[in-house]
Amino acid sequence: MKNHDVLNFSMGRRSFLLAGGAALTAGMMPSATRAQSGPLVVSNWGGSWNDYMVDSFEKQAFEGTGVDLIKDLAPVSERKTRLLAERRLPRSSVDLTWLSDSDAFEMYQQDVLEELDFDRMPNAAQLLPSLKQSYYVPAIYGGVVILYNPNKIKTPPTSFADLWDPKYKGRVGLYDQIYFNYIYAASLVAGGTLGNVEPAFDKLMEMKEAIQPRLYPSHDALAAGFENDEIDISANYSARALLWKNNGLPIDMAYPKEGAVAIAFGVGMPKKAKNKDAAYDYLNAMLAPQSMAGVARKTFYSVATSNADLSAEEKASLEFTPAQQEALHFVDYPYAAENDAAWLEWWNKEFKG
């Protein structure tokens, strides 16, 4: 289904081992149990995103436990293909896999992911109800919003429709791999929904012909487009706007009047995982208040729990307002799963062609 690269740190597949001898951080593991020993293989995106997870909770959670935390790093398309191929094998090659909300639904629908026992994760009691699913544990969430250069656009945009404004001809930037989000945004502009995107296709062809947007192969390339003064406006994840602005790029964020397109990322457990005991310990450790605070500070996403160790100021800077949360559009997972292959084909042949 959708080839999300959380913060787009895609790389060739590789693995490495985390080991050490420090004590567990308080609250990270179930109070009545110690993590099971042996290898625990966690599949994830690579690069800085993986480093964020190591620094935020993985290293602290498993040092000195007897668990060898092995990281399997690859783009999500590779990882999903392997998960599907391993359904017929006695055991999965991974114990946990990081996925977007849509990709997790797809893997669940394909009979890959386990129905989780949330009683084995005491910290899951603080999960936000709107994000909780039976087959994966959400960690972070945000929304697709408008990103713009405030040095060039003095009046903040208010709508996804601003991407079609003729004054931005040749100055609109789009990240190729999140094509589905542009289909969703165009659908909202054209009067459709996330459950019926048919109006989006004519609207996007209108953009192609009239606006001539620039397409970028990665999030980092899109950021460079802003930095190098190639583009003035885009639509992308809210965390991107916060991260890039924090890094000194000329980028501000505007919440669209249509409502942002929600996105969440988390972790699922393959049905044939080998070390499910340690996998549950990992999930519980991830949801601990200090872990969630670390993840939020590193990624600039809002986190999926209500008790993260964040200050009021940090929460205000990372989270949508209540009104903005209320306006979020959530993906219609079955509809998207049924149609995404056709959307990708259309994007590649018609919009990019």
Quickly list DSSP for 45-102.
--HHHHHHHIIIIIHHHHTTSSEEEEEEE--HHHHHHHHHHGGGSSS-S-SEEEEEHH
Domain hosting residue 36, numbered range? 14-140+264-325
Looking at residue 238, which CATH number applies to its domain? 3.40.190.10
Q: Residue 24: which pLDDT band, with cuts at 50, 70 and 90? A: very low
Domain assignment present for 4? no
Average pLDDT score over residue span 258-276: 97
Each residue of 119-138: pLDDT tens digit? 999 999 999 998 999 999 99
| Total count of domains within the chain | 2
Same domain flag for 308 and 252: no
Report pTM.
0.82
Report pLDDT for 26.
Answer: 42
Same domain flag for 123 and 166: no
Report pLDDT for 35.
Answer: 52
Same domain flag for 227 and 336: yes
Domain assignment present for 6? no
Average pLDDT score over residue span 91-102: 96
Each residue of 174-222: pLDDT tens digit? 999 899 999 999 999 999 999 999 999 999 999 999 999 999 998 889 9
Q: Report the mean per-residue pLDDT for the chain.
A: 90
Residue 164, CA distances (Å) to 133, 196, 242 in order: 36, 21, 24
Average pLDDT score over residue span 99-105: 93
Domain assignment present for 1? no
Report pLDDT for 18.
Answer: 54
Same domain flag for 46 and 124: yes
Is 80 exceeded by the pLDDT of residue 141? yes
